Amino acid sequence: MTDIAERALHTRIARSVDAIRRSFVDNLFYVTGRTLDNATNLDLYTALAFTIRDRILARMVAAEDIYQRRGAKTVAYLSAEFLVGPHLANNMLNLRLTDNVREAMAGLKLDLEAILEAEEEPGLGNGGLGRLAACYMDSLATLEIPATGYGIRYEFGIFDQLIRDGWQVEVADAWLRQGNPWELRRQHRYPVGFGGSVERQRDDEHRVRVRWTPDSTIFGVAYDTPILGYGVLNVNMLRLWKSEAHESFDLQAFNVGDYYGAVDAMVTAENISKVLYPNDEPDAGKALRLRQQYFFVSCSLQDMIRITLRDDGSLEHFPDRFIVQLNDTHPAIAIAEFMRLLVDEHLMDWDRAWALTRRSFAYTNHTLLPEALETWPVPLFERTLPRHLEIIYEINARFLDDVRVRFIDDHDRLALLSLIDEGGAGGVRRVRMANLACVGSSSINGVAGLHTELLKSTVLRDFHDMWPGKFHNKTNGVTPRRFIALANPPLARLLDEVIGDEWLRDLELLRALEPQASDGAFRQRWRGIKREAKAKLADHVRRACGVSIDPDTLFDVQVKRIHEYKRQHLNVLHIVSLYHRLREGGGGDSTPRTFVFGGKAAPGYRMAKLIIKLINSVAEVVNRDTQVNRLLRVVFVPDFNVKNGQHIYAAADLSEQISTAGKEASGTGNMKFTMNGALTIGTLDGANVEIRAAVGEENFFLFGQTVEQVAETWARGYRPGEIYERDPDLRGAIDLINSGFFAHGDRGLFRPLTDHLLASDPFLVCADFRDYVECQDRAARAYRDPEDWSRMSILNVARCGRFSSDRAIREYNSDVWKARPLPVTS
């Protein structure tokens, strides 16, 4: 232990209830200028956040110091998104201070839950990909692996979603408005250039040197958020970059009297980290997004290079100090930037630099959807990053030479492997970021077994032919700290009581629960816990949507981004056919059900927004129809995010994971539901396949075409219209929608959706409809046997250990990163 670390850990602030109460009251006064008499919930939250932060800082300093002195190899997780969720409760849990804090607050007659509710969550991600990054940061710290998450400090995160007249309305997410107690602004700042020109000169030793003169340069400033591990002293850092103007540049403009010019430059610079782009929209023309990607990647690499040179004196040691994990292609430009930094700035020769690059990078692919594989038009790329385009050409030329040697005269292969798509849409050549990531990395992985196999056999097949050894699978995982302990405290307490509290660090221990599945008394307690969570969600729904739902009905839940491939509309078609059946009197022994939806649609994705409108329109009619509304209700919970997700997962009986087989890379919501004892109704897609294998096929409701069947359907020639003609339920549902029944008589409103289904149906909604409805009926019947349902639910939880992000991180570390855990000890 070094001096600094020792001193830091010995200044640890007391953890007693009394000490917490005293610091809280002090912080309330000295940070917010309020007293208990006039404080709002936001003031109380701020004071408590600082009270907890005070207890984190000593650990943070100690960890930084120990990592540095030991020259620890650090995992640099590069991600354009980190959807961390509210910090306060999570940090209290990780410090194991929750009970003491609750008692301290109670002593002041304050309600901890109300204080926690006041936290505005940082929505710095769209969905699964960003949330995965947050789960991985949690597990890295818990497993005591030195790691830094590098990303962007967006001033506006993912938009807040309002529902107006059934439509999604987007509102800017000004999450920093009230300040952010968790971040520390640092002095590290790095210049980042854009545009300009490239020249070649000979240096004194007659070597060609490349000089890139950007036409604008901005700065990235580091903001650090400490990430605690659970029950350990390690603290890792989430380092997010904010863009700012280059001061001397401003000054220069100012000196020549161009004050407004200087202000403009400042505004332009700050725009880079202004807003998170929603995904599921084409990136074409999003010049600012390319700038964002380059901006954060460049700052992050300059930071790592600084650290390596500071501690090791030479960049030859870079791969011993950092392993850079690329979270999807968003940071893939890092490969070209690292080459530029090594070759142009640090004067390393190309081959040496390339060898270092390939040892330092690893790439995770998160999607097979062709439209989500990033490519940038060459003209835009050249305007923005002229030097990087040259570097990419050089990498490509050398790479394609290798390919030519391996596969003589195979021109098709060459065209597919090339980093440049020569025949892009509209004749515009494009830079393929996935290809760049593959060529520059030593490791390529998918995020579920099926997804990895499909990567190898489809989108990345030619790369797999080149380098089969680079490919491997790492099935996603989620953190049980947030998604069990925080989301479902009563469940966590029951687990503690029955199997001891180590499960939170080793989720496989949940297996010890299996025998309880056959214990009637335990099953009853299990149901009590689910009932409690459902009642809580019902309260939330009443407040958020003004609809009352009955906790004694089956809660059938689909929450995730709204996308056609995820098939929320398949779910709606089932609801409409159920409604139809009930109205016709054909649902005599029906299971009372509540369908819960939630999720955001990309602002420019019209079909997804129409699906939201359809859900809300059906909800409005069904919930008001006294003939059926005791058996059937539908709600759309607005603004699905990490915070309200925590209420929703815990309350679900049935988890909808119904994407078209082959489309969902993994899914992680599926895991969160399983951990909370929901049974899954799902296709053989993404991680569903592994969840089903883990929990047992008899405890999972399977339906739908497999990947192979999907391929056969397309090969045979798919005609959804014929299915519509043949299947009276499908026809009934679609006709009812088209009749204007859910749209105040407007027959045209949903036609874009239904016409699309009948004409092309790219996600096979019609093809899977019949099987889905029958599977839903099986699920509903099963729910009517509470004992058996509880037994299945318990087994789902007992067998979900594999889906902990701790398992995933252990696998990444032993197969790819090879960073040594470095416990911070006191």
> Catalytic positions, please?
366, 560-561, 566, 668, 672
Sign of CA dihedral 587, 591, 594, 597: negative
Enclosing H/E stretch for 507: none
The torsion angles phi and psi of 260, rounded to 5 degrees, stand at -70, -35
DSSP string, 761-823: -TT-HHHHHHHHHHHHHHHHHHHT-HHHHHHHHHHHHHT-GGGBHHHHHHHHIIIII-PPP--
Binding to ligand NBG (CB under 6 A) within 657-686 occurs at 664-668, 686
Closer to ligand NBG by CB, 474 or 574: give it: 474
Binding to ligand NBG (CB under 6 A) within 130-149 occurs at 132
Closer to ligand NBG by CB, 132 or 610: give it: 132
Binding to ligand NBG (CB under 6 A) within 390-449 occurs at 447
DSSP code at position 198: E
Minimum CB distance to ligand NBG, residue 361 (Å): 18
Minimum CB distance to ligand NBG, residue 129 (Å): 4
First to last CA, the chain: 8
Position 85 contacts ligand NBG (CB under 6 A): no
Among 128, 151, 386, 599, the residue binding ligand NBG under the rule CB under 6 A is 128
Q: How many CB atoms lie within 10 A of CB 278?
A: 18
Residue 25: name the closest of 15, 14, 37 by CA: 37
The beta-strand segments (E) located in 346-435 are 361-364, 375-377, 420-421, 430-432
Minimum CB distance to ligand NBG, residue 686 (Å): 5
x/- string (CB under 6 A) for ligand NBG, residues 623-662?
Answer: ----------------------------------------
Minimum CB distance to ligand NBG, residue 126 (Å): 6
Closer to ligand NBG by CB, 298 or 668: give it: 668
| Edge-to-edge strands, sheet with 361-364 | 184-194, 216-228, 235-245, 147-152, 74-78, 322-327, 361-364, 443-446, 471-473
Among 283, 328, 564, 761, the residue binding ligand NBG under the rule CB under 6 A is 328
Minimum CB distance to ligand NBG, residue 115 (Å): 32
Contact 647, 792 (CB under 8 A): no
Q: How many chain residues are in contact with ligand NBG, going by CB under 6 A? A: 16
591 Cβ contact partners less than 8 Å away, ≥ 6 residues apart: 553, 554, 631, 780, 781, 783, 784
Stretch that binds ligand NBG, among 126-134, 149-157, 407-415, 508-516 (CB under 6 A): 126-134
Minimum CB distance to ligand NBG, residue 447 (Å): 4
Minimum CB distance to ligand NBG, residue 602 (Å): 11
Position 119 contacts ligand NBG (CB under 6 A): no
Residue 485: name the closest of 470, 497, 476, 495 by CA: 495
Position 476 contacts ligand NBG (CB under 6 A): yes
Contact 293, 431 (CB under 8 A): no
Binding to ligand NBG (CB under 6 A) within 685-704 occurs at 686
Closer to ligand NBG by CB, 24 or 376: give it: 376
Q: Rg of the chain's alpha carbons, rounded to an integer?
A: 27
Position 129 contacts ligand NBG (CB under 6 A): yes
Q: How far apart are CA 544 and CA 540, in angstroms?
A: 6
Residue 763: name the closest of 718, 727, 725, 800 by CA: 718
- Long-range CB pairs of 16-19, under 8 A, 24+ apart, other chains included: 16/100, 17/100, 17/103, 17/104, 17/107, 18/104
Angle at alpha carbon of residue 98, lines to 94 and 102, rounded to 5°: 160
Tell me the three state secondary structure of residue 229: coil
Minimum CB distance to ligand NBG, residue 713 (Å): 22
Within the chain, how many helices (H) and strands (E) appear?
Answer: 34, 22
Contact 143, 479 (CB under 8 A): no
x/- string (CB under 6 A) for ligand NBG, residues 345-384?
Answer: ---------------------xx----x------------
Minimum CB distance to ligand NBG, residue 262 (Å): 39
Contact 434, 374 (CB under 8 A): yes
Q: How far apart are CA 49 and CA 486, in angstroms?
A: 17
Minimum CB distance to ligand NBG, residue 663 (Å): 8
Helices 386-406 + 433-440 axis angle, to 10? 70
Distance set, CA 760 to CA 604, 703, 728 (Å): 21, 21, 19
Position 556 contacts ligand NBG (CB under 6 A): no
Residue 460: name the closest of 519, 423, 417 by CA: 417
Stretch that binds ligand NBG, among 86-94, 127-135, 708-716, 762-770 (CB under 6 A): 127-135
Closer to ligand NBG by CB, 435 or 594: give it: 435
Minimum CB distance to ligand NBG, residue 369 (Å): 8
Place of tokens 């925080």: 486
Q: Which residues bind ligand NBG (CB under 6 A)?
A: 127-129, 132, 328, 366-367, 372, 447, 476, 664-668, 686
